[in-house]
Amino acid sequence: MRGYIDMASRCKKPASYPADCASMLKPCQEAAAEASKNVTRGDWECHQKTVSEGLGCCSWLVVEPAPKDFIENFVGGQDFWANKIRVKYKKTEPKHIAYCDTFKKLMTELMPYVKEYHMTGVTFNPKGGDVKAYAGALAPPPPKAAAPAAAAPAPKAASGGGGLGDLKAALGGMSTSGLKKVTKDMQTWRAEYKKDGEIPATPKKGPVAKAAVKKPTVVKGPPLVEFQQRGMKWFVENQTKEQGVITIEMDPKDGAKHTVYVCHCVEATIDIKGKCKSVAVDGCQKCNVLFDSAISSLEVVNSKSMKCQARGIVPSVAIDKTDGILTYLAKETVDITQFVTSKSSDMQISFPNSEGDMVEAPIPEQFVHKASLASNDKAHVSSDVSDLYSH
């Protein structure tokens, strides 16, 4: 990655981009392929998959026009595996949690750098040389003839703060002193940019733009987690990501009689431990709902962008008026669980195959209907799944 950015700071953007830069991308591509190849099953599988998934963000180097958003997608991808580590070691080994947090910080701290200096793609030097003539910046300089051997200086202690400091240490001490600073007059998308021999125009003073403020997550009321004896029901309402993971422990004796009702939550994570009667989700957005087992069913209504996971058995899943839902099923419930859907879209089911790897399949939304007369001369309509889902 360093060599590629160094090349961009010294060279003009080639006409055949990014094909002419393929050789500079090769080290990143080989590292990502090696990480994916070395994933093995066992205690470290999720750790390896976290890194393998996260390394995909290195392709931002050839993404236009929004490389920052591209990186952000991989942050969520690595979190899928990192969250499994967090759940497993939350109460036993904090160092595993620190591992997940540090790796995520490497990616999140890369985003503001890309936004500042490479907003619409890697910034090339319009006054630079030709890429093909660029002598590989990654290759170390040849040693000087007859130079006396000198003791290598002691390496500096790595910073314990994580983030970009750890990334620099992991790069093996490669210096960034050879990189040229890309000033504003070199960035073609800025008003300060000037061509050779051209005097830059003085930017006109205008009203100071207010910093964009991210809209806060809006819920319909105060957060609530409450059990009501009447009706034997848990109420989880108006939760957001600011509340962290909401954990509900089912009573070993009476938990199988309890229903969990989750409503009006936004970007929240609800984890239900133990067996319950049923789980109902109503009016939620971008939430993660995890539970061990449900005797009756999982119901999702009037929701958007949901993720639900059954770690044990659930006989039935009902989805109504929901746009976007991914349901994870455990191996023991795949052959048992039935899905009933209506007025919903973008529905996916994920479950392990015979080798333990997760596979994914869509729930059909398109059907072919045929009208006919039944034997008793009454109207009859037959329906088949569209050929769209047969490939």
Q: Is the pTM of this model over 0.85?
A: no
Residue type, 149: A
Q: What is the structure's pLDDT at 5?
A: 83
pLDDT in tens, 17-44: 777 777 777 777 787 788 777 778 788 8
β-bridge pairing 316-320 and 304-310: unpaired
Higher-scoring residue by pLDDT: 47, 317: 317
CB 68 within 8 Å of CB 114? yes
Mean of all residue pLDDT scores within the chain = 81
pLDDT in tens, 278-314: 999 999 999 999 999 999 999 999 999 999 999 999 9
Listed in sequence order, the residues at least 6 apart from 148 whose beta carbon sits closer than 8 Å to its beta carbon are none
pLDDT at residue 168 is higher than 60: no
Q: What is the structure's pLDDT at 146?
A: 47
Q: What is the structure's pLDDT at 44?
A: 86
Higher-scoring residue by pLDDT: 124, 202: 124
Q: What is the structure's pLDDT at 138?
A: 45
CB 233 within 8 Å of CB 259? yes
Q: What is the structure's pLDDT at 171?
A: 52
Q: What percent of the chain has pLDDT over 90?
A: 32
pLDDT at residue 197 is higher than 70: no
